[in-house]
Amino acid sequence: MNKRKASLAAAAAGVVAGAAGLSLLAMPAGAGQPPSLPDVSPESLVEQVLTSKPGAFGGTVEVDNQLGLPAIAEIPQLADGKHSARVWTDGAGKVRLALPNGQSEQTIVSDGTTTWSWNSVTNKVTKAEGKTEQPEEAKAIDPATAAKEIVGLTKEFSDISVDGTARVANRAAYELVLTPKASEKTLVREVRIAVDSELKMPLRVAVLTNGTAEPAGTVGFREINVGPQDPKLFEFTPPANAEVTTPEAEKGERGERPEAGLEQALRGENPQVFGSGWDLVVGARIPADAMTQVPAEAQGLVDRFTKKVSGGWGSGQLFTTKIATVLIADDGRVVAGAVPEQVLFDTIGQVK
């Protein structure tokens, strides 16, 4: 299995945004007049995106969901609207995130060898030892990571152009545009990536879908402070009376829950990948015991936001947003992608 393809399948299928948490897409337009910059070729901007290695900075990243979903009390972050996070990095592997959620906040701190995650409501701390990559939460709100994955996997299947300039977080940027070729079967009309003219790093990624004028989702910087950050930001001491646990212990707890198999399948941890480019589809099979033991509350959410469908492939439930479609068959097969439903109907028979 190609891990890189699988990661984009999860990213591009923003459901996989829906099922896993937050989609990777969404962001506010830059303010002010477009800056005057020297001409640059699309090929040059593509290379900058693919080789981007951001240095030290601190800033606020904003995610703007416009997927067409109503507010869901149980999953507030999936509702349309803007959500923000603070991020700091030393450019050499250390990172700090502050992720607000209503009255609570999750803080994640990594010094490159130990990663701490603290929930202010539960006062629970997870400590992961050993050299770590960028935390998954940081990847989810990082325009550079999103842009690199999208460009790397779709540039062969896209018409690529430069559509002028923009200001993002008060910085001058070029607008790189990837438009799926006419042969691609996708819900996506185009992806716009604002590339900083000086830093050569993506500042914003916006995804537009067929039949809409505004982005279905965007992720990008609202403000950014480039340069060395306070070293103390990358230190963490658990608060008094906090419960400290490990990822292994948490994984064990998740494994005991009957819905764990369902979550694993939808999160794309063991995906099967079909096709390539914009009409790439990720598939999985939910274990039979998970299908029969899904809690009533979780099943109720599925029933509220899906429609029943059937065909030569069998029967199941279809979940749609502006940017992605998910098909869950009654026998446990699941397929998802940034594609029309017919593509999923044609693909699900290949899931093993």
CATH number at residue 217: 2.50.20.10
Contact 192, 208 (CB under 8 A): yes
- What are the pLDDT digits (tens) for 262-280? 455 555 556 789 999 999 9
Q: For residues 4 and 154, what is the distance between their CA atoms, to the nearest angstrom? A: 12
What band does 66 get if pLDDT is binned at 50, 70 and 90?
A: confident
* Distance between start and end Cα atoms, the chain: 14
Average pLDDT of the chain to the nearest whole number: 83
Q: How many domains does the chain have?
A: 2
**Is 156 found in the same domain as 26?**
yes
Contact 318, 325 (CB under 8 A): yes
85: tokens are 């996070």
Tell which of 245, 275, 306 closes a domain: 245
Q: For residues 285 and 271, what is the distance between their CA atoms, to the nearest angstrom? A: 8
Q: What is the per-residue pLDDT for 135?
A: 76
Residue with tokens 């477009």: 34
- What are the pLDDT digits (tens) for 307-337? 999 999 999 999 988 889 999 999 989 999 9
Amino acid identity of 76?
P
User: Is residue 135 one of the residues assigned to a domain?
Assistant: yes
Tell which of 217, 245, 273 closes a domain: 245
| Residues linked to residue 172 through DSSP beta bridges, in sequence order | 167
**Is 205 found in the same domain as 278?**
no
Q: Name the residue among 52, 56, 139, 65 with its Cα closest to residue 94.
A: 56
User: Is residue 9 one of the residues assigned to a domain?
Assistant: no
**Is 329 found in the same domain as 237?**
no
The pLDDT > 90 percentage for the chain reads 58
**Is 231 found in the same domain as 306?**
no
Q: For residues 42 and 107, what is the distance between their CA atoms, to the nearest angstrom? A: 38
The mean-pLDDT minimum among 79-88, 169-178, 201-210 falls in 79-88
Q: For residue 56, is pLDDT > 80?
A: yes
Q: For residues 232 and 311, what is the distance between their CA atoms, to the nearest angstrom? A: 58
Q: What is the per-residue pLDDT for 342?
A: 97
**Max mean pLDDT range (57-71, 298-312, 315-329):** 315-329
User: Is residue 94 one of the residues assigned to a domain?
Assistant: yes
**Is 191 found in the same domain as 236?**
yes
Q: For residue 54, is pLDDT > 50?
A: yes
**Is 154 found in the same domain as 175?**
yes
Q: For residue 183, is pLDDT > 50?
A: yes
Q: 124-129 and 243-245: which strand pairing?
A: parallel
Q: Name the residue among 275, 229, 231, 298 with its Cα closest to residue 54.
A: 229
Q: Which domain holds residue 28?
A: 19-245
User: Is residue 33 one of the residues assigned to a domain?
Assistant: yes
65: tokens are 């969901």
**Is 256 found in the same domain as 207?**
no
Tell which of 211, 245, 279 closes a domain: 245
**Max mean pLDDT range (141-155, 165-179, 239-253, 286-300):** 165-179
Q: What is the per-residue pLDDT for 105?
A: 87
User: Is residue 317 one of the residues assigned to a domain?
Assistant: yes
**Max mean pLDDT range (158-172, 248-262, 296-310):** 158-172
Q: What is the per-residue pLDDT for 9?
A: 39
What band does 291 get if pLDDT is binned at 50, 70 and 90?
A: low
User: Is residue 10 one of the residues assigned to a domain?
Assistant: no
**Is 269 found in the same domain as 233?**
no
Q: Name the residue among 341, 283, 281, 268 with its Cα closest to residue 307.
A: 341
Q: For residue 28, is pLDDT > 50?
A: no
